[in-house]
Amino acid sequence: MAYLAFYRTFRPSTFDEVVRQEHIVRILKNQINSGKVGHAYLFCGPRGTGKTTLAKIFARAVNCEHPRDGSPCGECAVCRALSSPANMDIVEIDAASNNGVDEMRDLREKVQYPPVAGRRKVYIIDEVHMLSPSAFNAVLKTLEEPPAHALFILATTEPQKIPATILSRCMRFDFKLIPREDLERLIKRVFDATGKSYDDEAVSAIARAGAGSARDSLSIADMCASYAPGRLTYDDVNAVLGAADFSSVAKIVNFMFEGDAPSALSAVEEVLSTGKGVGTLCKDILTFLNNVAIAKLCKNARDILSLPDDRFSLLYGSAERAEGHAVLRATEIIAACESDLKYALNGAITLETAVLKCAMPQADYNMDALIARVAALESEVNSLKAGMPRALPSAVVGAVSQPVAANAASANEGGAHREEKAAPAAKKETAEVRSRPALKAMEGAAPFNDAPAENRAQASQPTLWEDAPAPANIGSLSKSQKDGTFANLLKLFRTTRRNAVLFTLCMDLDSAFEGDKFIMYTDTEAVYRALSREENSRTISEALADLGVFSHEVRLRPKGESKWESAERRLRENFKGIDIDIK
């Protein structure tokens, strides 16, 4: 006898053998037991979930002389007759190849003939969505009012393509994807029946690859059983699936998280040079990222993933070193790459570009990339505060290393004599760097260049939450700089989402300088209190420091005083002792 594939050899013959789909099985059983069988059914759902199998079981059950709990007995004369491929009472039609109007007209004529062996003549039309509009119209009336002995079962994976006139004439049953645990039990039952030894991790890998389809899972299991003559292992399944080496994928993902773009690109090239497909590698990276998210968030990750201990340890190590926003960003980029590969002329370049984008958040102005960079800075600051300095990712180092390295170089040039000579310049440069809000998070950090520790500047800096003092040697602003200070301040607030509230509060204020001190006037007491709060005052000070202003004050204009009166009062206060005649 010719060899039959697993999914054909172990096809269920009764309702009780069907894997899951309990909601459908229960309805069909009750209809058989009560004799309330309809005339048209629509089975729709993903591939390999049992649509055709249930249709065949139901077709035999409605004709069985002695059904057992709704299932065909398999022993009566009718069941034996229907089990023969030559029977004429169960007709299977492939709508993919018989989708014309002529075939449906032929069916409409033949449906009038009564059954030969059983009580009902059953027509199973598979992939019914492939019928042409004319074919649907030809069968429409027959489907609505067929002869008493006729029963139609339509099966499809794309019910949205079926006309509403057909859908309204059928009892619709939606099949669901089969859970992984049920697929694992099915595969183990098949392996046990065939005498194949296996590891539990190998069975879990087959079930995951099946993606909810019993037929796909059994097809992969069939290949794996032929691949490994002895005991089936996890590595055997990966070899059959053509997946990239687990450690190689982990290496690529770790380089992406560390911001090491050259190493990540080299690792991708190394895997592709072994002959692995670009689409397969992209899928493996995406699966690894998904597993990292599970390992990072789920307490029972080991049970969910069912990986060998050494591979789970490798995965868990990646999850520990990864930051949540970085994982989410990388997953979205690789998922988009998987979609783009369908239309790419050079898939390798598309994948490598996506990997570089994951490894270089400093080159990406996407909001998720910015959040990941800020999170990396916060993590470094927390480590420094705890007295546990560690290396920053290269993405962060690239943003701050140049000014700090220049500062260190200016402070370390030459011997003791040059060190004393360069001290004022070094202090000035240090103060300018500290005055920038974007680098305030790095206060107290050691320089990130490779200079020896004994040559690094040892300047003491304030803690994270202290305000940096104004440089003593900064000169006064020019008149043009003072005139543009308020407009530039509003521009800084407008372009920063975090300071949108401050922009709204400040946009209607008046401003003036008293020497080098910047004064802002408001008529509203609520605005005055809001701008005088410590956190808002600190933010304004940091923004003004970028503009070269290191002293400011918010003043409440006396009630009843107009803008002109306020300007006159300020003028007289600034020029005391001078007789001013205002007309």
The enclosing domain of 219 has a CATH number of: 1.10.8.60
Q: Give dist(CA 227, CA 229) in Å, integer.
A: 6
pLDDT at 471: 43
How many angstroms separate the Cα of 206 from the Cα of each of 176, 241, 291, 553? 19, 9, 16, 69
Domain co-membership, 30 together with 123: yes
- Is residue 18, in this structure, part of any structural domain at all? yes
Burial pattern 537-570, b for ≥16 Cβ within 10 A else e, equals eebbbbbbbebbbbebebbebeeeeeeeebeeeb
* Total tally of structural domains belonging to the chain: 5
pTM: 0.58
- Is residue 459, in this structure, part of any structural domain at all? no
End of a domain among 301, 324, 359? Answer: 359
Residues 6+ apart with CB under 8 A from 29: 15, 69, 70, 71
The answer to whether residues 22 and 111 touch, using CB atoms and an 8 Å cutoff, is no
Q: Give dist(CA 543, CA 550) in Å, integer.
A: 10
Residues 6+ apart with CB under 8 A from 387: none
Domain co-membership, 32 together with 151: yes
Domain co-membership, 37 together with 146: yes
pLDDT at 567: 67
Domain co-membership, 73 together with 144: yes
- Is residue 261, in this structure, part of any structural domain at all? yes
Domain co-membership, 396 together with 339: no
Domain co-membership, 430 together with 384: yes
- Is residue 448, in this structure, part of any structural domain at all? no
Domain co-membership, 487 together with 431: no
pLDDT at 561: 63
Domain co-membership, 63 together with 160: yes
3-state helix, strand, coil in the chain (%, to 5): 60, 10, 35
Dihedral angle, C-alpha 410, 415, 418, 423, nearest 10 °: 60
**CA contacts within 13 A on the Cβ side of 49:** 23
Alpha helices in 386-484 (DSSP H): 394-412, 416-434, 479-483
Residues 6+ apart with CB under 8 A from 187: 203, 206, 207, 217, 218, 221
- Is residue 462, in this structure, part of any structural domain at all? no
310, two tokens: 């050494």
Domain residue limits at 351: 246-359
> Three-state SS string across 197-230, please?
CECHHHHHHHHHHHCCCHHHHHHHHHHHHHHCCC
Tens-digit pLDDT profile for residues 329-349 = 899 999 999 999 989 889 999
Domain co-membership, 323 together with 382: no
| pLDDT < 50 regions, the chain | 389-475
- Is residue 447, in this structure, part of any structural domain at all? no
Closest CA to 547 of 473, 471, 492: 492
- CATH number assigned to the domain comprising residue 37: 3.40.50.300
- Is residue 450, in this structure, part of any structural domain at all? no
Domain co-membership, 31 together with 169: yes
Domain co-membership, 321 together with 401: no
Local structure of 535: helix, strand or coil: helix
- CATH number assigned to the domain comprising residue 564: 3.30.300.180
End of a domain among 359, 389, 409? Answer: 359
153, two tokens: 């079962």
172, two tokens: 């619709």
How many other C-beta atoms lie within 10 A of the C-beta of residue 234?
21
479, two tokens: 């008149």
Domain co-membership, 116 together with 50: yes
How many angstroms separate the Cα of 129 from the Cα of each of 44, 126, 137, 406? 10, 9, 13, 69
Q: Give dist(CA 127, CA 129) in Å, integer.
A: 5
In angstroms, how far is the first alpha carbon of the chain from the final one? 116
- Is residue 582, in this structure, part of any structural domain at all? no
Q: Give dist(CA 544, CA 513) in Å, integer.
A: 13
The answer to whether residues 573 and 542 touch, using CB atoms and an 8 Å cutoff, is no
How many angstroms separate the Cα of 11 from the Cα of each of 52, 146, 327, 427? 10, 30, 41, 81
pLDDT at 523: 80
Residue-level length of the chain: 583
End of a domain among 306, 337, 359? Answer: 359
